[in-house]
């Protein structure tokens, strides 16, 4: 038996020759008809790219067609390829990239220039066009937005930071020094040493005023002493540039508290991305997204770390892109402020948005606390509260608090008339005088309405759905796609990069839904208008929509 096996001839499959053949094989025929690369090509072919075409002036050498470049970028981000060098390599080695580009081979500089320059200010339009295609396929309704944000680190150096407090402090010291020197020189010119007024020393001075003052003193250079001439020279060569630097830094900062020297648009934010999850200050951007069915329907980039201040501009840009506003907004307690509730009320949006202490007030300890301001009896007719001992707390004052966005909140202050000798005082409050409470009546009205909505059947559905919607997208983006840090710098380029990532996410998910049947209809009354559809590939490779 062993001899028989040894005598059998070993046969191998024929090895194709690398030499050119008379009828070469079409390698593009190996691409399946339902491959994602065909979906990208068909989607991009339907997009309106006239705004990009208008950027080309003509003349000179030929340019790669922008539609082909968009296809390459979309397919690259769909496959989590963010580097232009890797895109260039794929165009030479990957048959899917070769088919998509028509064997065009732009280098990484051309790809990077097109991404950073040609798409500047236009990525939102391309993204909205793709979302509208999804809307036509009834994958999204645009009637509900699940909103949340995440911080993504900038490509900037983590240690080249500029803090507003430090700049203001150093600028004040420099102004004090400059005023002191100017007053000494003026005193020397007048030949009368006088004690300088403190108010004159701390008087603010800007760089243009200082430059004008130096010019005036240079005209009197002949009467200046040598010490004064040295001080004047130092003002011009050292102090003036420093003052200009501080002014430029404050201009860059604006309302922010910090920025990075290597990416001035990035703000230092606390990121929980280390192994201890204790938060580290790094240059980053606050990215806000709206989702529906785990598709990203809208995104916006912000330079402020707090989610509360981002909602208004996010909703405004959504309305600007699509010409309509969602009926429902679902978000966590980070967006539950009086200002945001007023904004959604003005836009006629149903706010399924939690507020601070929403979960805490559900606990028995909070409900049974007789000393909590929210549990005190309020007489709306005569505008007073009743403390646990039955004493009236009358309105004594009203104040206004302004938020970072310029929104004014009216706060009512109530005070008890006498707390001396009250047996419940130790449990009621610890202040020296009579107890005072601060009430925001407008916010309480919003809370009452939102509380009722969140406890309704529809509200419970949205609350269960929210973590599945937005958090799943962030998990896919950061954990699976490894999109944890931007590779470009500058606000406009950051917007392009995040937009391409969001487009890749939507195309990837659309491809999966096209090849799977599923029920997209929510179980709530407001969203039953969505029907179940499937997208098929016909024999000719074209997309077709049919009812399931």
Residues 230-269 have pLDDT tens digits of 888 888 888 889 999 999 999 999 989 999 999 999 999 9
Asked if residue 51 belongs to a domain, the reply is yes
Task: Please tell me whether residues 193 and 57 are part of one structural domain.
Answer: no
Q: How far is CA 459 from the centre of its chain?
A: 26
What's the CA gap between 231 and 245, in Å, rounded? 20
> Residue 95 is inside which H or E element, if any?
helix 95-101
Task: Please tell me whether residues 318 and 230 are part of one structural domain.
Answer: no
Asked if residue 63 belongs to a domain, the reply is yes
* Residue of 538 and 431 predicted with greater confidence: 431
What's the CA gap between 405 and 427, in Å, rounded? 37
Task: Please tell me whether residues 40 and 110 are part of one structural domain.
Answer: yes
Helix 36-45 × helix 66-78 angle, to 10°: 140
Mean pLDDT of 336-357: 94
> Residue 500 is inside which H or E element, if any?
helix 491-514
Task: Please tell me whether residues 493 and 510 are part of one structural domain.
Answer: no
Asked if residue 144 belongs to a domain, the reply is no
> Residue 443 is inside which H or E element, if any?
helix 441-454
SS3 state at 148? strand
The encoded tokens of residue 82 equal: 């963010």
pLDDT of residue 406: 85
Asked if residue 154 belongs to a domain, the reply is no
Q: How far is CA 313 from the centre of its chain?
A: 11
Task: Please tell me whether residues 366 and 283 are part of one structural domain.
Answer: no
- Cβ atoms of 288 and 282 closer than 8 Å: no
Task: Please tell me whether residues 41 and 81 are part of one structural domain.
Answer: yes
pLDDT in tens, 296-324: 999 999 999 999 999 999 999 999 999 99
Task: Please tell me whether residues 366 and 333 are part of one structural domain.
Answer: no
What's the CA gap between 80 and 503, in Å, rounded? 11
Task: Please tell me whether residues 31 and 121 are part of one structural domain.
Answer: yes
What's the CA gap between 99 and 491, in Å, rounded? 33
- Tokens 């900062």, residue located: 253
Task: Please tell me whether residues 244 and 170 are part of one structural domain.
Answer: yes
Asked if residue 122 belongs to a domain, the reply is yes
pLDDT of residue 236: 86
SS3 state at 233? helix
Asked if residue 147 belongs to a domain, the reply is no
* Burial category of 331 from C-beta neighbours within 10 Å (exposed 0-12, middle 13-18, buried 19 and up): buried
Task: Please tell me whether residues 117 and 169 are part of one structural domain.
Answer: no
Task: Please tell me whether residues 128 and 33 are part of one structural domain.
Answer: yes
pLDDT of residue 487: 92
Task: Please tell me whether residues 474 and 335 are part of one structural domain.
Answer: yes
Asked if residue 79 belongs to a domain, the reply is yes
pLDDT of residue 307: 92
What's the CA gap between 442 and 345, in Å, rounded? 12
What's the CA gap between 133 and 535, in Å, rounded? 12
* Burial category of 294 from C-beta neighbours within 10 Å (exposed 0-12, middle 13-18, buried 19 and up): middle
Asked if residue 483 belongs to a domain, the reply is yes
- What is the residue range of 472's domain? 267-354+453-499
Rg (CA), the chain: 33
Domain count, the chain: 4
């Amino acid at each position: 038996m062993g001899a028989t096996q040894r005598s059998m001839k070993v046969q191998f499959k024929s090895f194709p020759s690398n030499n050119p053949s008379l009828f070469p094989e079409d390698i593009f025929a190996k691409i399946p008809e339902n491959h994602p690369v065909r979906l990208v090509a068909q989607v991009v072919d339907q997009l309106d790219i006239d705004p990009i075409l208008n950027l080309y002036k003509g003349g000179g050498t030929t340019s790669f067609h922008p539609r082909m470049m968009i296809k390459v970028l979309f397919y690259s981000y769909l496959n989590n390829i963010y580097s232009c060098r890797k895109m260039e390599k794929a165009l030479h080695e990957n048959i899917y990239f070769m088919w998509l580009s028509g064997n065009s081979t732009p280098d990484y500089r051309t790809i990077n220039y097109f991404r950073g320059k040609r798409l500047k200010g236009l990525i939102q339009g391309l993204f909205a066009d793709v979302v509208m295609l999804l809307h036509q396929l009834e994958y999204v309704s645009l009637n509900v937005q699940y909103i949340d944000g995440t911080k993504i680190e900038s490509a900037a150096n983590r240690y080249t930071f500029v803090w507003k407090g430090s700049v203001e402090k150093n600028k004040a010291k420099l102004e004090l020094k400059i005023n002191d020197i100017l007053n000494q020189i003026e005193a020397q010119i007048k030949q009368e040493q006088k004690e300088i007024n403190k108010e004159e020393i701390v008087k603010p001075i800007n760089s243009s005023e200082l430059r004008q003052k130096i010019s005036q003193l240079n005209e009197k250079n002949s009467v200046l002493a040598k010490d004064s001439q040295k001080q004047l020279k130092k003002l011009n060569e050292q102090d003036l540039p420093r003052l200009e630097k501080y002014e430029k830094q404050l201009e860059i900062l604006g309302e922010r508290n910090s920025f990075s020297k290597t990416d001035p648009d990035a703000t230092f934010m606390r990121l929980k991305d280390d192994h201890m999850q204790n938060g580290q200050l790094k240059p980053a951007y606050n990215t806000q997204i709206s989702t529906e069915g785990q598709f990203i329907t809208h995104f916006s980039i912000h330079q402020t770390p707090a989610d509360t201040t981002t909602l208004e501009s996010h909703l405004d840009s959504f309305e600007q892109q699509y010409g309509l506003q969602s009926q429902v907004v679902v978000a966590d307690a980070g967006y539950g402020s009086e200002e945001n509730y007023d904004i959604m009320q003005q836009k006629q949006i149903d706010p399924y948005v939690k507020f601070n202490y929403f979960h805490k007030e559900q606990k028995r300890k909070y409900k049974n606390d007789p000393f909590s301001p929210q549990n005190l009896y309020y007489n709306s007719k005569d505008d007073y509260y009743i403390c646990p001992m039955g004493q009236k707390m009358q309105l004594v004052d009203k104040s206004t608090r302004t938020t970072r966005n310029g929104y004014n909140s009216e706060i009512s202050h109530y005070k008890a008339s006498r707390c001396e000798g009250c047996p419940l005082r130790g449990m009621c409050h610890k202040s020296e005088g009579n107890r005072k409470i601060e009430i925001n009546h407008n916010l309480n009205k919003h809370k009452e309405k939102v509380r009722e909505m969140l406890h309704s059947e529809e509200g419970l559905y949205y609350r269960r759905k929210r973590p599945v919607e937005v958090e799943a997208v962030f998990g896919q983006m950061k954990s699976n796609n490894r999109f944890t840090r931007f590779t470009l710098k500058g606000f406009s380029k950051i917007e392009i990069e995040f937009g391409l990532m969001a487009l890749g996410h939507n195309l990837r998910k659309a491809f999966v839904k096209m090849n799977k049947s599923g029920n997209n209809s929510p179980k709530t009354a407001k969203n039953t208008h969505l029907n179940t559809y499937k997208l098929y590939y016909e024999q000719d490779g074209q997309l077709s929509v049919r009812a399931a």
